[in-house]
């Protein structure tokens, strides 16, 4: 019986292709695993009104870990128009399946390494090596939103003096998104960042926030970060406003090491950091909880490239590497990263984004050929 049972959710568009390429790698590494495919994505929204069917949730609960590809996502109104005729007008509302997965399994840590591999022509600078910890279940992505604004919600908000300018705005002309942050949510993501820094002998942890404007939520995150930092005297602690951080990452990327932020700010700075090391074709992520984890490339489904085997699968290979590390298969993770680094450095196999003509599967075969 295989040691691991791994859920595989290819999703939409090029997600199918990059996951296919990653499985070539994992099988060549002789990972002792059974791979079980599941359903997720746009076609299930259109045909069933649910982009993350209950059967897929059940499948994940029966596996050790998940490798995820990419999905198509569209705004609420556009999503409703693409439902099957039999599902129209039933009040179904599209909700991101990856966000739901994070909340359903309490995958509170979004781990985003951003490393510049030697020889990558897309590197902004060499020797960049950042790791971003993004809180994954709260903040601006908690999903508590209103439009139009219910009267009882507005009545509650009117107890705050700064709601006075909105007093006479009609309910159907106000949309509200909430930024919900708990002490527990802040504590566990900051602690995860410091634990990682200490374990991996990283120089510093920088909390990225905006407490000068978002005084309550940002203030909570900053206060928690300062308290936890005192427990790690061996790790330098820094603070930065998110807007300034975007500038400083471009100006002085080598000054930073581990960054930690709430959901929205973490999303922003991790994409910026990804571009410093080659773009989303090199951006992997782990959605990690205490008992389960989902690993993915962070790019979208790129429908215009679907079926062409054109896109860069390296982000998915790096996601597989993170998955192996999480499973405790550190030697196989090191073999994978070493082979990948060698292929990048040689420059013989490059996908279109890197200025080459190699296919998704060419890249997989080249990396697997280094084992």
DSSP 170-210: -GGG--EE--B--HHHHHHHHHHHHHHHHHTT-SEEEEEE-
Judged against a pLDDT cut of 90, whether residue 77 lies above it is answered with no
pLDDT at 75 over 90: no
3-class DSSP assignment, residue 166:
helix
pLDDT in tens, 11-67: 999 999 999 999 999 999 999 999 999 999 999 999 999 999 999 999 999 999 999
How far, in Å, CA of 83 to CA of 232, rounded?
51
pLDDT at 339 over 90: yes
99-143 pLDDT, tens digit each = 899 999 999 999 999 999 999 999 999 999 999 999 999 999 998
The model's pLDDT over 161-191, given as tens digits with 9 standing for 90+, comes to: 999 999 999 999 999 999 999 999 999 999 9
pLDDT digits (tens, 9 = 90+) for 200-216: 999 999 999 999 999 99
**DSSP reduced 3-state for 1:** coil
Half-sphere exposure in the Cβ direction for 95 (13 Å, CA): 17
The gap from C-alpha 24 to its chain's centroid, in whole angstroms, comes to: 23
Of 55, 141, 67, which Cα lies nearest the Cα of 99?
141
Percent of residues, the chain, with pLDDT higher than 70: 100
Is omega for the bond preceding 148 within 30 degrees of 0, making it cis? yes
pLDDT in tens, 221-239: 999 999 999 999 999 999 9
Q: Where in the chain is the domain with CATH 3.40.718.10?
A: 1-108+286-371
CA atoms of 236 and 203, how far apart (whole Å): 6
Q: Cα 162 to chain center, whole Å?
A: 34
Q: Report how far residue 132's alpha carbon sits from residue 206's, in angstroms, rounded to the nearest whole number.
A: 9
Q: Quick check: 153 pLDDT over 90?
A: yes
Domain boundaries for CATH 3.40.50 within the chain: 129-142+179-276
CB distance 51 to 39 below 8 Å: no
The secondary element (H helix, E strand) that includes residue 153 is helix 151-157
pTM, rounded to two decimals: 0.94
129-142+179-276 fold: Rossmann fold (3.40.50)
Q: Is 321 exposed, middle or buried (0-12, 13-18, 19+ CB in 10 A)?
A: buried
Q: What is the pLDDT of residues 257-278, one digit of tens each?
A: 999 999 999 999 999 999 999 9
Residue 74 pLDDT: 87
What CATH superfamily classification does 1-108+286-371 receive?
A: Isopropylmalate Dehydrogenase (3.40.718.10)
Q: Quick one: pLDDT at residue 200? A: 96
> How large is the average pLDDT for residues 244-254?
97
At 95, is the pLDDT very low, low, confident or very high (cuts 50, 70, 90)? confident
């Amino acid at each position: 019986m295989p040691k691991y049972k791994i859920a595989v959710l290819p999703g939409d568009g090029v997600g199918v292709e990059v996951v296919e390429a990653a499985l070539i790698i994992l099988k060549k590494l002789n990972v002792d695993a059974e791979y079980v495919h599941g359903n997720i994505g746009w076609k299930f929204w259109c045909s069933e009104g649910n982009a993350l069917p209950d059967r897929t949730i059940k499948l994940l609960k029966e596996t050790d870990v998940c490798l995820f590809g990419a999905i198509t996502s569209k705004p609420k109104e556009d999503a409703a128009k693409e439902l099957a005729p039999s599902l129209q007008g039933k009040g179904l509302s599209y909700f991101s399946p990856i966000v739901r997965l994070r909340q359903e399994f309490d995958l509170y840590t979004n781990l985003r390494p951003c490393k510049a591999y030697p020889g990558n022509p897309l590197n902004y600078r060499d020797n960049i090596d950042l790791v971003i910890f993004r809180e994954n279940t709260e903040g601006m992505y908690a999903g508590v939103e209103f439009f139009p604004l219910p009267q009882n919600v507005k009545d509650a908000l009117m107890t705050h003096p700064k709601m006075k300018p909105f007093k006479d705005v009609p309910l159907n002309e106000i949309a509200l998104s909430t930024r919900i942050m708990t002490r527990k949510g802040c504590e566990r993501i900051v602690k995860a960042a410091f634990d990682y820094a200490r374990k991996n002998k990283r120089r510093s942890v920088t909390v990225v926030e905006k407490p000068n404007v978002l005084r309550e939520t940002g203030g909570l995150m900053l206060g928690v970060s300062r308290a936890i930092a005192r427990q790690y005297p061996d790790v330098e602690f820094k603070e930065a406003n998110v807007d300034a951080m975007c500038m400083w990452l471009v100006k002085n990327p080598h000054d930073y090491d581990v960054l930690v932020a709430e959901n929205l700010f973490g999303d922003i700075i991790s994409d910026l950091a990804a571009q410093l090391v080659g773009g989303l074709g090199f951006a992997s992520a782990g959605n990690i909880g205490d008992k389960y984890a989902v690993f993915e490339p962070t790019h979208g489904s790129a429908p215009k490239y679907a079926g062409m085997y054109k896109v860069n699968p390296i982000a998915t290979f790096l996601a597989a590497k993170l998955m192996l590390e999480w499973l405790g298969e550190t030697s196989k993770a090191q073999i994978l990263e070493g082979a990948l680094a060698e292929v990048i450095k040689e420059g013989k196999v490059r996908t279109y984004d890197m200025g080459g003509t190699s296919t998704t599967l060419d890249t997989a075969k080249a990396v697997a050929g280094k084992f």
